[in-house]
Chain A
Amino acid sequence: MTYALQTRNLVKRFGGFVATNDVTLNIATGARHALIGPNGAGKTTLINLLTGFLEPTAGSVILQDRDVTRLPQHRRVKRGLARTFQINRLFADMTVLESVTLAVNERLGIGAHWWRSVGAHAEAIDQAASLLGQLGLLDVAHATTKDLAYGRQRLIEIALALAAQPSVLLLDEPAAGVPTEESRDLFETIAQLPRDVTILLIEHDMDLVFRFADRISVLVMGAILTEDVPAAIAADPRVKQVYLGESTHD
């Protein structure tokens, strides 16, 4: 079994507060791994540690068998790690096509090219358009991002991550803020991603989690409570207790 993404005893402290408490994760290549837990458990902090947005207080992050703990964010992306954000972080004044082309440019290594215009690199534009096509965004390719509905913006958020053609994709509540029918479509899109892409998913919607994931980790107060296949998690009384009083649908 090969592991695409691992952490070893990962710790993150903010002053006296322990946000991430000795987390060890092993995510197999090609897995559909979900990370669940009550609000404030530290799920986004963990994602931030995995991507390099935050530096850990202790412990290490291993990507494709290489220690990336000291590696800055953009280098990890080059190694194949991409993420989406819980709240859209988009380029409000750019068109959809421009945004995704920007992402594709970085992947193709032409992001620093300064002599020829963006338009002259037709290959990048075509790849961006192709990605938009897969996500059903071609009709708004030339629309300005800030003018679009939230649901469609959420798709752009995912497009930006997919543009990097990652081998490991971290999705932070991809369906957050998206109406239920559209979130089904969103998950269909995610489910159709090639099997060699490893996916770690934070999600609150238990329906989606149990349909999509093949393994689930439960994070409570910064520490891993348990990790197992969905059926076992569903039956685990400790997990039920942690969620007691929490609704299963947002």
Chain B
Amino acid sequence: MSLTFDNTRSRRAANWHTAEYGFWMLPIVAYFVFPENLALLSQIAITALFAVSLDLILGYAGIVSLGHAAFFGVGAYAAGLLAQAGWGDPILGLACAGVVAGLVGWITSFLVLRGTDLTRLMVTMGVASMLYVSANKLTGITGGLDGMQGVDMKPLFGQFAFDLYGKTAYIYCVAVLFILFWLARRIVHSPFGLSLQGIRQNVFRMPALGTPVNARLIAVYTLGAVYAGIAGGLLTQTTQFVSIDVLSFSRSAELLLILVLGGTGSLYGGILGAAIFMTMHNYLSDIDPQYWQFWLGLLLIFVVLFARGGIMGALRTVAKRLA
């Protein structure tokens, strides 16, 4: 026991910051300020959750994945199939999406344990590609390129039907996002989360500390898959449709962009990136989809070369200067 060391700072490190409370007021405020745009805001919440799921494996554990859409898509289809089969309760659908996606994540996790970053890229892309090809082939089940229809959702908790204005959907998405975010926040501030950062920063040192690295990676990869699956399930339930591009490479690539734009390794980066990206996409891509993609590519190159920490990185620099 050290008598001269004050561990208060360490003990308080995981406490919620005032700014965080302020941040989570925003979705509530948005409900009242933007009643016309609830559909877009729901999509932002869903993408934010998807981004958080990638941040867990990439920003914290350092697993470079270009195929995270695999789990999003699996969750989306699972929720869709469940609803089609008549089990339209939303919570049940999400649970199913999470479990199925988590299972796929767990089964494929051994592929990302070995090899270099390139191997991981390959393998994650490969898994997502295989799933895309499967979905395309199994038209009877998935609807193939035309997508899955007939996704009828029952009212949430038997009370709140998904209305045309998207009010129920919005509250539902934000609530799910918040609960899962809160859980993820606990996890990244825990000893487990600290060990993930250790794995990302120096994977060779970790076994020398007694860490079963593979077990930790499998756990976080599975968790990331569960989160992504639930996000996919939310998409299905709020749009009552599953398009095959939930499994596409573009979706994985765009998610990576969103996360990097917002800043990896902070959880909030994913949410910020999603909000900004989706808003810009909504207003700019109507003008011309090609221009959108071109400028997106340019933005990505710019961020990588000059603003690598993303928005969160910029905010941190500003905070340091002000401190």
Contact = CB atoms under 8 A, between A and B. Distances in A.
Interface stretch (A20-28, A57-65, A104-112): A104-112
Contacts of B219: 112
Interface of A: 51-53, 72-74, 77-78, 82-83, 85, 89-94, 97-99, 101-103, 105-107, 110-122, 124-126, 129-130, 132-133, 138, 141-142, 160-161, 163-164
B192 A112 contact: yes
Contacts of A117: 13-14, 186, 189-190
B2 A83 contact: no
Contacts of A133: 2, 4-5
B4 A74 contact: no
Interface residues of B, number: 37
B202 A91 contact: yes
15 contacts: A72-B207, A73-B207, A89-B202, A89-B204, A89-B205, A91-B205, A93-B197, A94-B197, A98-B194, A105-B194, A118-B190, A119-B7, A124-B191, A133-B4, A160-B205
Contact of A115 (B186, B194, B209, B213): B186
Contacts of A111: 191-192, 195, 210-211
A102 B7 contact: no
Given A117-B190, A118-B13, A133-B2, A91 B197 contact: yes
A97 B209 contact: no
Given A53-B208, A89-B208, A133-B5, 14 more contacts: A51-B208, A77-B209, A89-B204, A101-B194, A102-B191, A110-B191, A111-B211, A113-B191, A117-B13, A119-B12, A126-B2, A126-B7, A129-B7, A130-B5
A72 B208 CA distance: 10
Interface of B: 1-2, 4-5, 7, 9-14, 186-187, 189-195, 197-198, 201-202, 204-213, 215-216, 219
A114 B5 contact: no
Contacts of B208: 51, 53, 73, 77, 82-83, 85, 89, 160-161
Nearest to B213: A74
Contacts of B194: 98, 101-102, 105, 118
A103 B191 contact: no
Contacts of A103: 209
A74 B211 contact: yes
B14 A118 contact: yes
A120 B187 CA distance: 13
A120 B198 contact: no
B11 A112 contact: no
A115 B193 CA distance: 10
Given A112-B191, A119-B14, A133-B4, A92 B211 contact: no
A83 B195 CA distance: 18
A93 B62 CA distance: 14
A114 B201 contact: no
Contacts of A161: 208
Contact of B191 (A78, A97, A105, A129): A105
A105 B195 contact: yes
A132 B4 CA distance: 12
Contacts of B197: 91, 93-94
B11 A125 contact: yes
